[in-house]
C-alpha cells in the first residue's frame, strides 16, 4: 500500500549527484527566466501574446519549442544510458536509476517529443495549406496545447520530486502495480499521460473537423496537399486509439490508488489485459506519429524536385490503408505471450500486409525525384536521409513480424534497433525536415545552411554508428533494459561503438540548436514569403503570415494550388477580379485554457501523492473554468477593413 507518512527525504529525491545537479539547474534556469522577463518587462507580453493566444501559428510554435526541449531531455537520458553501457561492468548509474532513465526516455520521446512535434507541424501548416483562417475550434486548440504542456511538466517534475517512474515506458503490470512499485513515480506516469491524452484527443477531433469543414472554396478532398491527407489519417487514428489508452491507464490507476484488481493475478485480474489494451493504442500510435512525417516528406520531395507528386491517388489510398490496417496488428508486440498459432498467424500476416502501402509510398517518393530538378536543400537532405533509413527499419520490421522468429528477437537489442530506426529515421527526420521547411513561414527567416548541414551529417551518420551495432547485439543475445553486462560476452566492442554513435547524434543536435541561435541573428530574411518556390497555399502568404492568414480566402482550381497560380501569372493569365476586403471574424484570446490546464496539473499532483484535498481543489477549479466558458458570450470579434489594409500594406501587398 502507498506510504502515507511522507517526509522530506521521500518527497524530494536525495542521494544522487545527477539529481542534485538537476535540482540546481532547474532553480538556476527558473531564476534566469524570471529575471529576464522582469528586467525587460515582458510579463504582460508573455501573457497577452503567448499564454492566452488561440492563434494556431503561435500554438504551433509553442508546441515546437516544447518538443525541442523534450528532445533535449530525452536525448540526455539516452546519452546517460549509452554511457552506462559503454563498457562492461560500468558503475556510472545504479540499477534503479537506470530503470528510471529508460522509462522517462521512452515516455518523453513518444508522448512529449514526437506527439507535440507532429502537433506543431499540423498547427503551423494545415490551416495555411487549406486556405483557412484558423482551426475549427481555436479555443479547444489552446486547451490541447496547455493540457499537453502541463502533462509534460507533471511528468518531468517526477525527476526531482518523488522519484521517476521505473516500470518502462509501457508500464506493464504486475511491475507497475502498487504491490511492486511503491513510490509515486508510476502515479506520475499515469496522471501525466492522462492529462496530456485529453489534449491529444481534442487535437485529433479539431484537425479532423478542420480538414473536412474549413477548406477554401474549390479545394476538393482530392486537391488537398498530401500533408493534409496524412494529418486526416492521423486524426482518425487519434480519435479511435487514444480512448483505449485512457481506459487502460485509468484501470491501472484505480488498481494503484483505490486497490482494485483489474490487472493483479491473485485478485482475479489479468495483467495481460493491460498489455493487450496498451498495444491496441500503442500500434496505431506509431502510425499516428509517422503518418504526418510521411506527409511532410511528400511536400518536401515534390517541392524540391520541382514536380507534382508521383501517384497522388495511390499515396492517398496507401495513407488510408495504413490507417485502417494499423488497427489489426497490435498483437505483434506480444507474440511471445503464446496466444496460439491461430492468433499469432493472423497478426503476423496483418503486420506483413501493412508493409505494402508503406512500400508504395517509398517508391512514389523515388519516382517523384526521378527526372526531377532536385535541389538538395536542408529539408530535402533529411528526406533523402530518411528513405534508406526507413527502408532498413521497415525491412527489419517485416523480419520481426514473422511470429516464430520473433521468439528470438523479442525484447532483444534487435527490436530496440528496429523501432529506433523507424521512429528516428521516420518521425524525427520527418519533423526536422518539416521544421527546416516551414521555419521561414513561422519566423520570417531561413535557418542557416552550414550549421544545418553539420547537424544533418553528424546526426545521420551517428544514427547508423549507434544502431547498426545494436542489431548485432540483439542477435548475440543482449536483451533490452539491462543496466550492465559482464566481460567475455563478446558485446563490449559493439556497445562501445554504439555509444560513440549516440554521442555523434548528440553533437548533431547541438549543431542544429546552434544553427537556430545563429540564424536568429544572421539568418537570411524571407521577404517574398515563398523562399523554396513552393507549390501549396501557405507559400502564397507573406512570412510570417498575418494573424488572420488570408486577407481574401483564395479560390482553388487545381492540386498544388499556389504552383498553378504562379504558372498562370507567368503566362499572363490575370487572376480573376478581386473582391473587396471584408471585416474578418476572429476568435478572441483567452487565459482560461492556461488556467484550466494548470488546475488539471494541481489535481494530478494531488492524486500522485494521495493529497485528496489538493485534488478536490484542482477539479473544482476545472469545473469553474468549464462553467465560466459556458456562459461566456464575448468570444470573438471582427478585424475592421482599415486594419487589414494597413497590415497588408506593411507586407507590401494590397
Partner 1 sequence: MSMMEEKVPGHTGRSEGGNWPWMHIIGFVISILLTLIALRLVLAHAMGPAGLFVTIMVLAVLQILVQLFFFMHILEGGGPRWHLWMLTLGFIFVFTIIAGSIWIMTFGAESY
Residues within the interface to partner 1 (CB under 8 A): 133-134, 136-138, 209, 212-214, 236, 240, 244, 270, 272-273, 276-277, 280, 324, 327-328, 330-331, 337-340, 343, 585-587, 633, 636
Which is closer to partner 1, CB of 78 or CB of 325?
A: 325
- Least distance (Å) between residue 292 CB and partner 1: 19
b/e per residue 102-126 (b: at least 16 CB within 10 A): bbbbbbbbbbbbbbbbbbbbbbbbb
226: cell is: 498530401
Which is closer to partner 1, CB of 132 or CB of 195?
A: 132
Which is closer to partner 1, CB of 278 or CB of 438?
A: 278
Q: How many Cβ atoms sit within 10 Å of the Cβ of residue 172?
A: 17
Closest C-alpha to 144, from 166, 169, 160, 122: 122
- Least distance (Å) between residue 647 CB and partner 1: 18
Determine the Cα–Cα distance for residues 70 and 88; give it in Å rounded to an integer: 29
Helix extents (H) in 577-640: 592-608, 612-630
- Least distance (Å) between residue 434 CB and partner 1: 25
Residues 6 or more apart whose Cβ sits within 8 Å of residue 413: 470, 471, 473, 474, 478, 479, 480
Residues 6 or more apart whose Cβ sits within 8 Å of residue 102: 77, 81, 168, 169, 481
Which is closer to partner 1, CB of 162 or CB of 271?
A: 271
DSSP string, 204-255: HHHHHHHHHH-PPTT--GGGS-HHHHHHHHHHHHHHHHHHHHHHHHHHHHHH
- Least distance (Å) between residue 134 CB and partner 1: 5
- Least distance (Å) between residue 147 CB and partner 1: 21
Determine the Cα–Cα distance for residues 72 and 108; give it in Å rounded to an integer: 10
Task: Give, as one character, the DSSP assignment of residue 329.
Answer: -
- Least distance (Å) between residue 343 CB and partner 1: 6
- Least distance (Å) between residue 209 CB and partner 1: 7
- Residue holding cell 511536400? 299
Closest C-alpha to 302, from 26, 533, 598, 577: 533
The answer to whether the CB of 529 falls within 8 A of the CB of 552 is no
Which is closer to partner 1, CB of 332 or CB of 418?
A: 332
Which is closer to partner 1, CB of 181 or CB of 206?
A: 206
Which is closer to partner 1, CB of 54 or CB of 603?
A: 54
- Least distance (Å) between residue 382 CB and partner 1: 32
- Least distance (Å) between residue 197 CB and partner 1: 17
Let me know the angle formed at the C-alpha of 399 by 395 and 405, rounded to the nearest 5 degrees: 175
The answer to whether the CB of 292 falls within 8 A of the CB of 342 is no
Which is closer to partner 1, CB of 324 or CB of 573?
A: 324
CA–chain centroid gap for 304, Å, is 25
Which is closer to partner 1, CB of 329 or CB of 421?
A: 329
Determine the Cα–Cα distance for residues 132 and 47; give it in Å rounded to an integer: 25
Helix (H) or strand (E) holding 390: helix 378-401
- Least distance (Å) between residue 351 CB and partner 1: 14
Which is closer to partner 1, CB of 338 or CB of 477?
A: 338
Amino acid at each position: 500500500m502507498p506510504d502515507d507518512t511522507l517526509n522530506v527525504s521521500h518527497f524530494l529525491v536525495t542521494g544522487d549527484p545527477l539529481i542534485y545537479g538537476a535540482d540546481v539547474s532547474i532553480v538556476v534556469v527558473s531564476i534566469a527566466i524570471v529575471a529576464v522577463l522582469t528586467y525587460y518587462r515582458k510579463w504582460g507580453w508573455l501573457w497577452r501574446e503567448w499564454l492566452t493566444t488561440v492563434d494556431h501559428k503561435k500554438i504551433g510554435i509553442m508546441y515546437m519549442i516544447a518538443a525541442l526541449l523534450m528532445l533535449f531531455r530525452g536525448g540526455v537520458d539516452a546519452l546517460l544510458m549509452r554511457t552506462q553501457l559503454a563498457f562492461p561492468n560500468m558503475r556510472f548509474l545504479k540499477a534503479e536509476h537506470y530503470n528510471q532513465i529508460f522509462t522517462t526516455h521512452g515516455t518523453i520521446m513518444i508522448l512529449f517529443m514526437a506527439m507535440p512535434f507532429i502537433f506543431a507541424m499540423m498547427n503551423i501548416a494545415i490551416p495555411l495549406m487549406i486556405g483557412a483562417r484558423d482551426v475549427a475550434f481555436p479555443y479547444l486548440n489552446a486547451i490541447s496545447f496547455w493540457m499537453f504542456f502541463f502533462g509534460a511538466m507533471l511528468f518531468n517534475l517526477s525527476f526531482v520530486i518523488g522519484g521517476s517512474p521505473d516500470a518502462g515506458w509501457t508500464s506493464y503490470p504486475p511491475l507497475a502495480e502498487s504491490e511492486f512499485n511503491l513510490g509515486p513515480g508510476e502515479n506520475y506516469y499515469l496522471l501525466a499521460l492522462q492529462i496530456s491524452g485529453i489534449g491529444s484527443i481534442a487535437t485529433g477531433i479539431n484537425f479532423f473537423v478542420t480538414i473536412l469543414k474549413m477548406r477554401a472554396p474549390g479545394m476538393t478532398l482530392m486537391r488537398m496537399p498530401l500533408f493534409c491527407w496524412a494529418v486526416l489519417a492521423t486524426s482518425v487514428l487519434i480519435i479511435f486509439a487514444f480512448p483505449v489508452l485512457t481506459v487502460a491507464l485509468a484501470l491501472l490507476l484505480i488498481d494503484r490508488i483505490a486497490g482494485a484488481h483489474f490487472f493483479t493475478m491473485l485478485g482475479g485480474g489479468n495483467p495481460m489485459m493491460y498489455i493487450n489494451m496498451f498495444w491496441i493504442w500503442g500500434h496505431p500510435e506509431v502510425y499516428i506519429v509517422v503518418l504526418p512525417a510521411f506527409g511532410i516528406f511528400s511536400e518536401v520531395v515534390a517541392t524540391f524536385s520541382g514536380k507534382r507528386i508521383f501517384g497522388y491517388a495511390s499515396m492517398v489510398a496507401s495513407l488510408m490503408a495504413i490507417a485502417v490496417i494499423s488497427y489489426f496488428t497490435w498483437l505483434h508486440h506480444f507474440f511471445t505471450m503464446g496466444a496460439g498459432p491461430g492468433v499469432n498467424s493472423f497478426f503476423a500476416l496483418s503486420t506483413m500486409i501493412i508493409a505494402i502501402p508503406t512500400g508504395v509510398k517509398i517508391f512514389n517518393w523515388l519516382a517523384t525525384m526521378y527526372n526531377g530538378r532536385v535541389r538538395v536543400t536542408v529539408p530535402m537532405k533529411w528526406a533523402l536521409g530518411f528513405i534508406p533509413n526507413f527502408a532498413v527499419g521497415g525491412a527489419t520490421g517485416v523480419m520481426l513480424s514473422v511470429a516464430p522468429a520473433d521468439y528470438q528477437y523479442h525484447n532483444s537489442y534487435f527490436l530496440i534497433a528496429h523501432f529506433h530506426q523507424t521512429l528516428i529515421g521516420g518521425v524525427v527526420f520527418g519533423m526536422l525536415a518539416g521544421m527546416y521547411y516551414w521555419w521561414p513561414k513561422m519566423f520570417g527567416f531561413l535557418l542557416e545552411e552550414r550549421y544545418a548541414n553539420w547537424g544533418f551529417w553528424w546526426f545521420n551518420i551517428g544514427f547508423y554508428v549507434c544502431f547498426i551495432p545494436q542489431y548485432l547485439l540483439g542477435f548475440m543475445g543482449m536483451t533490452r533494459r539491462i543496466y550492465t553486462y559482464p566481460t567475455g560476452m563478446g558485446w563490449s566492442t559493439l556497445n562501445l561503438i554504439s555509444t560513440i554513435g549516440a554521442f555523434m547524434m548528440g553533437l548533431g543536435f547541438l549543431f542544429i540548436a546552434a544553427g537556430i541561435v545563429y540564424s536568429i541573428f544572421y539568418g537570411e530574411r524571407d521577404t517574398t514569403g515563398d523562399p523554396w518556390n513552393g507549390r501549396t497555399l501557405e507559400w502564397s502568404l507573406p512570412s510570417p503570415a498575418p494573424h488572420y492568414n488570408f486577407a481574401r480566402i483564395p479560390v482553388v482550381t487545381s492540386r498544388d494550388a499556389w504552383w498553378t497560380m504562379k504558372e498562370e501569372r507567368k503566362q499572363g493569365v490575370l487572376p480573376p477580379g478581386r473582391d473587396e476586403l471584408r471585416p474578418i471574424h476572429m476568435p478572441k484570446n483567452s487565459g482560461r485554457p492556461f488556467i484550466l490546464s494548470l488546475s488539471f496539473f494541481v489535481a494530478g499532483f494531488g492524486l500522485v501523492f494521495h493529497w485528496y484535498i489538493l485534488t478536490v481543489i484542482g477539479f473544482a477549479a476545472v469545473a469553474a473554468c468549464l462553467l465560466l466558458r459556458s456562459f461566456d458570450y464575448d468570444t470573438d470579434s471582427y478585424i475592421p477593413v482599415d486594419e487589414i489594409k494597413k497590415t497588408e500594406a506593411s507586407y507590401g501587398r494590397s
